[in-house]
Amino acid sequence: MTETRYFEDLTLGEKFETETYTLTAEKVHEFASEYDPQFIHVNEDEAKDGPFGTIIASGWQTLSVTMRLMALIKPFGQNPLIGMRIDDLKFAAPVYPGESVTVKGEIVDLTKSRTAPRGYVGILLNTINLDTGKLVATQKWTCLVPCREG
């Protein structure tokens, strides 16, 4: 069992790195068919004439994978990742079927609530394509984390 981490246990500059996730052709097609059914994600013939020349993973799938990878490493231990907002979201490069990603994160802001026993933790997240070394998405999450004394 992972130890519970509270707001007081976190430090500015603390870094996280996740495992990897491969966006297989099947996963790309399945996700896009349900949530982002654009030709660049689901139709190989039409995608050839599109802006990427082939099928790419949906950016929303890349963000979902980012969430999955962060949830699995449990940066706050048994306290969940309670998202309050996402700022500065940028899609920097496409992810093609068969490519793998990882996430690197850093705590860039710690703000204690004045009215409740909790804090707000800003985490800068970079999702990296391991096959190309390119940054594919960047974003800043603000998460709610309970204080130890509540």
SS3 track for the chain = CCCCCCHHHCCCCCEEECCCEECCHHHHHHHHHHHCCCHHHHCHHHHCCCCCCCCCCCHHHHHHHHHHHHHHHCCCCCCCCEEEEEEEEEECCCCCCCCEEEEEEEEEEEEECCCCCEEEEEEEEEEEECCCCCEEEEEEEEEEEECCCC
Distance CA 95, CA 41 (A): 11
User: How far is residue 123 CA from its own chain's centroid?
Assistant: 11
Predicted confidence (pLDDT) at residue 57 exceeds the cutoff of 80: yes
Q: Which residue in the block uniquely carries the two structure tokens 């654009």? A: 38
pLDDT at residue 31, rounded to an integer: 98
Average pLDDT, the chain: 96
Q: What is the pLDDT of residues 79-97, one digit of tens each?
A: 999 999 999 999 999 999 9
The β-bridge partners of 77 are none
Predicted confidence (pLDDT) at residue 132 exceeds the cutoff of 90: yes
Taking the model in full, what pTM does it have?
A: 0.94
Q: Which residue in the block uniquely carries the two structure tokens 């594919």? A: 136
